[in-house]
Amino acid sequence: MDSYSNATEAAPGAAKSASVWLDRLTAYKSRFEKWYKACENVDKHYSRKDRADTTEREYAIFWANLEVLRPATYARPPAPVVAPRFKDSNPIAREASEALERTLVTTFEQADIDDLLRQVRDEYLRYGRGTAWVRMVNGNAIEYDFVGHKDFAHELKPVWREVTWVARRAWLNRESGVQRFGDAFKKVALKKQDENSAIEKKDDCAPVWEIWCKTSRKVYWVAEDFEQILDEQDPMFDLVGFWPCPKPALATLEPKSLVPVPEIKQYKDQIEEINEYTARIAAVSESLKLRGFYAAGTGDVATAIEVAMKSQDDRALLVPISSFAALGGGSFKDSIVWVPIAEAVALVRELVALRRVVIEDVYQITGISDIVRGQSDPNETMGAQQLKSQWGSMRIRERQAEIARLARDMTRITGEIIAEHFEPETLLEMAQVTLPNAQQKQQAEMLAAQAQQMQQPLPKEVSSILKRPSFEEVVAFLRNDRARGFVIEIETDSTIQPDEDAEKQRRIEFVTSVGGLFQQAAPLVMQAPMLGKFVVEVMKFAAGGFRAGRPLESSLDELGEQIEAMSEQAAQPQEPPPDPAIELKKAEIELKRAESEQKLAFEKQRHAQQMQFDQEKHAQEVILKREDMAARQMEAKTKTEIEGQRHQAEMDFKREQGEADREAHARTMTQNSLDGEGVMQKAADALSQMATDQAQVMADQSQAMAQAVQALTAAVERLGGPRRKTVMGSKGQQYEITDEAI
């Protein structure tokens, strides 16, 4: 959360009196007033902005020393190092460390921590104190603010661990102040941010102090010369150290206080002495010009010498004089008498030597050795140069350690804010880690349980998911402030320029030591399996002295698991080698047993197939017999019905013929009685037609019966019934019947 984020209403504590905090800030300013003035003088001496071009010469040793110390103290941005505190196999701690480290790397690049630390370094070297501030914006980003030496305050205590409040000052104009603190800010008086500069009234601002009090666990905002607290809130972050700023980078301090002492004060007298020698060397050098005298004119010696010495011409100067004999010139070679300069040259040499001695005193005071300044004696041995570099840079290493400590504290504060306040989606995007989610982990556990029940090997993908924690577990671990503080630690690597040769030498040593151990480990474990775990721990111990990175640690853990597995396998009792004759006899017995089992299995299979065939054949015969019996019954029934119908048809025909004959006889008798021969003929024709029609009906019925018998016969043939024969009926009809029916 930005300390000056948008807010339209003041907090309830805005009506409280700010006199206590204003008195504390006034006491702090009064205590540090001399240091403020010393810092202004340091700025003038470093930048030389008030120095006129016509003033005496000066030796810029302070600027030169700072230019040497700046890259030696801080040269590159820190790289965050987040690792488990204890080297045990804790996959959640390892993955959480990896995710947090990647997020910190991205944050450092986006927030440009390198520029911030360079500003802190410069103020630390010039004034003796450098301060920075961490804040979160928009809930998913970190920004770093450089706090100038006049914009930072803290409780007046002799040591930093006793300080209970810190404060930073920001300058707000009327519009931004009203937007942040409400209408109460309209009563705050505005002033110029720089009292020595002429700033238009529209740019005047109000100095607002943001105070973090560890005792009350509150954050206050007060404005200078305003008697009310502008705002009072709970802290935006729940940090281990409470403050969103690290301990300032402090150099030399006054005894029993936290008031810094600029380093230039320690050799200010030497700087003045060097400048004095430099001015003298410049003045004497001005007199080192070629000047001479020759005989001519009416001028006297005193006037000629005065003209020669006051001349500012850098070219050779000859001054004519009338009393040339007074200079002792008589011969031609003495026609020109030169002004002696050997004494002046000797004086310049002495002044330069004296100045060099004082400069060496400055180097002894500041601790800048020859190696740091890039100078060395070609007659010195390499060991002597290394020794000088080692001991000559001890005080420089203390400065390096102080800047590295501040960078580490900044990294820890940033890590706490990211772990506790960033959204999980933001962490995932910034870290670019590929972890399974809770659902994928649950599915993998179910698949593993199924594979175990079915006694099947576990797929490699499922095994990989089970070995890694879910992203939800990692986020929950990072959110747990207590667990995170106990399990993982946050550091930074070196912030100074690395020595490439030394880095190469360390890598060679690592490869040589660990590589040789690898070659000896495998045979040793195979010969003595109980030493497997010990060998693994020795390799981890050997690699622990080199920062090879977390991927190498993971590889060492995996290698350790493999070596332990090898040791367990080798620890199992080995059976003695078998006798070849016995093994041959076993092979023959096994072969015969296999042949017997194969033959028996073949016989069982053949017998089973034969039984199945017999059963199917018997079932088929039963079905055929049932169908044959049904066909015979139907055939007999059909035959009986056909014979009955034929007999009935013959009886009906005879009866109808008899009736027809009787009717014909009756009609004949009737016709005779009527004596009508034509009528009788018609009756006869009618009876004949009736007989014909009756015969046609019987023929149609016989044909239908024959078709039915043929259909039945065809059905019996399809069912595999008995053989059939064709017979003739009494009326000339054809019938097909079986031999059994015949």
Q: Is the pLDDT of residue 230 over 90?
A: yes
Count the helices and strands in the chain (H runs, E runs). 21, 15
Residue 117: pLDDT above 60? yes
- The residue extents of the domains of the chain are 12-266+395-428, 267-361, 580-738
291 and 338 Cβ atoms separated by less than 8 Å: yes
pLDDT tens digits, 607-624: 888 888 888 888 888 888
Q: What's the pLDDT at 397?
A: 82
Taking the C-alpha atoms of residue 623 and residue 590, their distance in angstroms, rounded to an integer, is 49
DSSP state of 650: H
Question: Which tokens belong to 329?
Answer: 């010139």
**What's the CA gap between 445 and 412, in Å, rounded?**
36
Q: 3-class DSSP state for residue 486?
A: helix
Rounded mean pLDDT, 43-66: 76
- Distance, in Å, from the CA atom of 80 to the CA atom of 98, rounded to the nearest integer, reads 11
Q: H or E element: which one contains 378?
A: none
| pLDDT band at 201; cut points 50, 70, 90 | very low
Q: Are 306 and 291 in contact (CB under 8 A)?
A: no
Would you place residue 154 in the very low, low, confident or very high pLDDT band (cuts 50, 70, 90)?
very high
The predicted-structure confidence for 635-694, as pLDDT tens digits, reads as follows 888 888 888 877 887 887 888 787 777 877 777 676 665 555 555 566 567 667 776 776
Q: What share of the chain is helix, strand, coil (3-state, %, to 5)?
A: 60, 10, 25
What stretch of H or E contains 79?
none
Half-sphere CA count of 343, side-chain side, radius 13 A: 2
Contact predicate 135/114, CB 8 Å: no
Instruction: Using the predicted structure, report yes or no on whether residue 79 has a pLDDT greater than 60.
Output: yes
CA separation, residue 425 to residues 107, 134, 138, 419, 713 (Å): 15, 22, 14, 12, 87
DSSP per-residue string spanning 537-592:
HHHHHHHHTS---HHHHHHHHHHHHHHHHHHHHHHSPPPPPPPHHHHHHHHHHHHH
**Which H or E run includes 697?**
helix 677-718
Q: pLDDT-based confidence at 10, cuts 50/70/90?
A: very low
The yes-or-no verdict on residue 400 having pLDDT over 50 is yes
Q: Is residue 52's pLDDT more than 80?
A: no
Query: Would you say residue 603 has pLDDT above 70?
Result: yes
Beta bridge partners of 521: none
The Cβ of residue 230 has, within 10 Å, a number of other Cβ atoms equal to 27
Structure-model confidence comparison of residues 268 and 733, the more confident one: 268
Q: Are the C-beta atoms of 164 and 202 separated by less than 8 Å?
A: no
- The highest-confidence range among 3-12, 454-463, 557-566, by mean pLDDT, is 454-463
Does the predicted TM-score (pTM) go above 0.75?
no
Confidence of residue 240 (pLDDT cuts 50, 70, 90): confident
> Are the beta carbons of 218 and 89 closer than 8 angstroms?
no
246-262 mean pLDDT: 93
Instruction: Give the span between the Cα atoms of 393 and 499, in whole angstroms.
Output: 14
190-200 pLDDT, tens digit each = 887 765 444 44
Mean pLDDT across the chain: 76
Between CA 338 and CA 292 the distance in angstroms is 4
Q: Which residues pair with 738 in a beta bridge?
A: 724
Alpha helices in 259-298 (DSSP H): 268-287
Helix (H) or strand (E) run with residue 212 in it: strand 206-213
**Length of the chain (residues):** 742
- For residue 663, give both structure tokens: 């009717």
pLDDT tens, residue by residue, 473-496:
888 888 776 666 666 667 776 655
Closest-CA residue to 430 (of 137, 113, 105, 2) = 105
Q: Taken in order 589, 592, 597, 600, is the CA torsion positive or negative?
A: negative
Sheet order of strands, 141-147 included: 141-147, 129-137, 249-250
Nearest to 730, CA basis, from 658, 638, 642: 642
Phi then psi for 656, rounded to 5 degrees?
Answer: -65, -35
| Cβ-based neighbours of 379, under 8 Å, separated by 6 or more | none
CA distance 527 to 529: 6
Q: How confident is the model at residue 301 (pLDDT cuts 50, 70, 90)?
A: low
The pLDDT assigned to 488 comes to 64
Over residues 17-28, the mean pLDDT reads: 93
Name, in order, each residue with C-beta under 8 angstroms of 423's C-beta and a sequence gap of 6 or more: 139, 140
In this structure, what are the phi and psi dihedrals at residue 392, rounded to the nearest 5 degrees? -75, -20
| Count of CB atoms situated within 10 Å of the CB of 679 | 14
What angle do helix axes 394-421 and 471-479 make, rounded to 10 degrees?
Answer: 120
At 359, the pLDDT band (50, 70, 90 cuts) reads confident
Mean pLDDT along residues 692-705: 72
Q: Tokens representing 453?
A: 């029940």
Tell which residue, 298, 289, 398, has the closest CA to residue 338.
289
Phi, psi of 230 (to 5 degrees): -70, -35
Note every long-range contact of 564-569, with CB atoms under 8 Å and residues 24 or more positions apart, other chains counting. 564/532, 564/533, 564/536, 566/522, 566/525, 566/526, 566/529, 566/532, 567/525, 567/529, 567/530, 567/531, 567/532, 567/533, 568/529, 568/532, 569/529
Q: Supply the DSSP symbol for 228.
A: B
Quote the pLDDT of residue 119: 94
CA nearest to 467, candidates 343, 578, 554, 345 = 554
Radius of gyration of the chain (CA): 60
Mean pLDDT (whole number) for 541-567: 62
**Dihedral (C-alpha) 442, 444, 450, 451: value to the nearest 10 degrees?**
-160
In DSSP notation, 125-187 reads HHHSEEEEEEEEETTTEEEEEEE-TTSEEE---SSGGG--EEEEEEEE-HHHHHHHHGGGGGG
**What is the C-alpha separation between 80 and 82, in angstroms, rounded?**
6
> Taking Cα atoms as reference points, which of 200, 268, 249 lies closest to residue 73?
249
Q: Which of 10-19, 218-227, 422-431, 699-708 has the highest mean pLDDT?
A: 218-227
Q: What tokens were used for 110?
A: 């986006």
Q: Which region among 3-12, 466-475, 506-515, 730-739 has the lowest average model confidence (pLDDT)?
A: 3-12
Cα separation of 64 and 278, whole Å?
15
